[in-house]
Amino acid sequence: MTPARVNGEDTWRAELSFSIYASQEAFYGLGSSRPASGTIAANPWTSPQDNTVIAVPLVVSTSGYGLFWNNTSRSRFNARFVQGLYLSSEVADAIDYYFLYGPELDNASPATGT
């Protein structure tokens, strides 16, 4: 969490990164507004906050887990750097996410992180 000023108001910017094995896994998801051209590693994505676009801040990994980023602010998802999944939100009161673990997503159970 870092202090930020957005639209003239003092707030916080949330940033979080996870170690991953980028060469061994791919991430998919993020709703209907996501380009259909591949994985998040190939296309870093900023979630829009528009009435005409459905953003779903959920990514799933080919390694059998998922991550739900629980923030309604414009957020960024990036996995193009080796060994890192980076998530950030422009405005946040806290870092709030849910980690879904497998070993397969069909059998995942939620665990919360704050």
Q: Which structural domain range is residue 103 located in?
A: 2-113
Q: Is the Cβ–Cβ distance between 49 and 73 less than 8 Å?
A: yes
Q: Which pLDDT does position 66 carry in this prediction?
A: 86
Q: What is the mean pLDDT of the chain?
A: 75
Q: Which pLDDT does position 60 carry in this prediction?
A: 82
> Does residue 82 have a pLDDT over 60?
yes
Give the count of domains, the chain. 1
Q: What is the pLDDT of residues 26-78, one digit of tens each?
A: 777 776 655 555 555 555 556 655 666 667 788 888 888 888 888 878 888 87
Interior/surface letters 8-41, b for 16+ CB within 10 angstroms, e for the rest:
eeeebbbebeeebebeebbbebbeeebeeeebbb
> Where residue 61 sits, what CATH number does that domain have?
2.60.40.1760
